[in-house]
Structure formats: C-alpha cells, structure tokens
Amino acid sequence: MGYTSKFIGRYLLLSFGLWLGAVTMVVAQKEPQYTQYMYNIGSFNPAYVGSVETADIIGLYRAQWIDIPGAPRTIRFGTNIPFANGKSGLGLNIVNDELGPSTQTFVDIAYSYQFNVSENTKLSFGMDVGGAFLNVDFSKGTFENPGEPILDSELIKKFYPTIGAGFFLYNTDIWYLGASVPNFLTEGVNDDDVATIVDDRIQFNFIGGYVFNFSENLKFKPAFLINYINGAPLNTNISANFLISNKFTLGASYRLDNAVSGLAGFQIGNGAYIGYSYDYSTNGLGEFNNGSHEMILKFYLGKGGGRGKNKEKNKKIKGKPKQIDSPRFF
C-alpha cells in the first residue's frame, strides 16, 4: 500500500511552489496518515481487531494541508468484530486515499487470534489480505518533465494485492504495545505502471500506550506511533489524552518535525464516540496551508460497549468476590 514516485513529487513541487522538504514528506507518507491513530489502530494493525471489548464500526475523514490543491484526502470505513470465544476476531478495512492525480482504494479483511500470557495480559497475532485499486489521471496538474514515458498513458487503472501482519500485546486494564507491516508484497508488484508509482519498500509500524487511572473520573493516556521505511525519515507521533468522567477526551499530539495537534472527543452514551483533531504544520509547509482536519466516528455494537466505558469484573480470591475496574481507553 502506498504511493511514492518521482512524478508525484514533481507534481507537488511545480504546482504548489513547495521545496524539497515538502516532497520528502510526501515520499515518506507511504501509508495514510492519522492524527487520531490511538482510536484507529485496526486500520494499520490486523492483530487489534479481536482485542476489542465489543464489535465496533468506524468512519474517519481526514483533510490534510487545507488550501493546497491536490493535498491528501483520506476516507476510512472499518469494523472490528471479536468472536464469542474471546480468542478470535474479524475486521474489514476500506480506505480511499487521494493525493494529487493519484487515487487509491484499499480493501482488506483481517483475522486475529489471541491467547493469555498472564491473568490480565493477552498477545494477539493478526493477518490481513486484500488489495488496492490504483487510479492515476495524468491530465490533472502540470509536470516538470512532460515527456516521461509514463505520462503517455494519461490514465492508469490498476489493481495490486496486499498482505499484511502484526501483533498486539496488551494488558486488559492499562497498556498496549504492537507492531505491524501493512504489506509484504512490495517486491511482488510486477506491473510496470504500478511499480513506477507504488513504493517498493516495506513499512513498519510500532505503537504503544499506557493508561494512568488518576481517579474514578480522570484517566490519562500517553501513546506513540512510529512509522519506519528504509531510506526515509522516521515518522514519530507522540500524544497525550485525558479522559474525563468517561465522557470527554482532551489531548494534544506532536509529529516530530512536522506538526502539533489538538484533539477532542465525546462519548455519546454507551453506543458512540465522536472525535476531532486539528494539525498545525511546524515545518515549511505551515506557510502554505491552514492546517489539517480529522474527524472520527465510532459506533459500538452490543451491550455496554464503549471506549472508556468502565466494566466491573467479579473474580473470586480465596472465596471472596473482588471488583476490578477495567477501562478500555484504547
């Protein structure tokens, strides 16, 4: 999955008057970029899909670099479905990603299986299989070298397969760590047109978070997401969110040498969550755009589910029941 090519860099450079730093950012952005990644883990780690407390449906829209024509626009629809056996899960992920003259629609199905490492710690392994529909319209924009052979195609419509995998280690109460590779088939793209546009380097994603329970009505969660591609700058995201009264989320995020963000969210009863984030570019792109907006909407299916919803587990210790507060702030 992804798109890094000379023609996209030249398109942005010539059309928008941006310098090499901006092109480097586009080249490094192989996977769609999310600010609210901590509530969107299933989009890039298939091992997450069976770890949720109840089935959910997720919709996300991201408008990046407002006021720059052809800047990235991302729409995601996803679902995470845990099985009744408490070990397996199934997920569906559909992402439409636009950048300049290029549009890609990714579709994949994920499956995960988890087992207990200890009483409250689980390890989940997941795999997703799917593909991407690539559509490039070379009639859009002006190119630095219009004589390049690939531009003779004018319109490219192709499909290429994707296979990804990941693991997700988490304590059911307070923390999580994970790693994933969205697509192992980068070397298997043998179509000349696709190979010219789609990056042939594997991306690695590393995530983590920890929930501090300050009180019954206040929780604090620092989290991180790191994207690594060989030969590209490391994309490091660090965030800190507060959950207030199990209803309101407020936080901030920092993308190293790229952007600072504000985040806010609201839990609508036990059945839905809506979140919003705004990014302000801290690099040279800040002079050319009015930031980036991202909206996420999650619906929880089944009884009692919800991010940040407290559940009480009764466990017997020496014949006496013990109540354990088990929030899922992720």
Q: In the chain, what are the domain boundaries? A: 6-308
Backbone φ and ψ for 293, nearest 5 degrees, come out as -115, 145
Beta-carbon contacts of residue 86 (< 8 Å; ≥ 6 apart): none
Q: What is the pLDDT of residues 49-103, one digit of tens each?
A: 999 989 999 999 999 999 888 899 999 999 999 999 999 999 999 999 998 888 9
Which pTM was predicted? 0.81
Domain 6-308 has CATH 2.40.160.40: yes
Range 11-35 average pLDDT: 47
Integer Cα distance of 251 and 33 in angstroms = 18
Beta-carbon contacts of residue 272 (< 8 Å; ≥ 6 apart): 297, 298, 299, 300
What pLDDT does 152 receive? 55
Q: Are 209 and 295 in contact (CB under 8 A)?
A: no
Q: What is the share, in percent, of the chain residues with pLDDT greater than 90?
A: 56
Q: What is the share, in percent, of the chain residues with pLDDT greater than 70?
A: 75
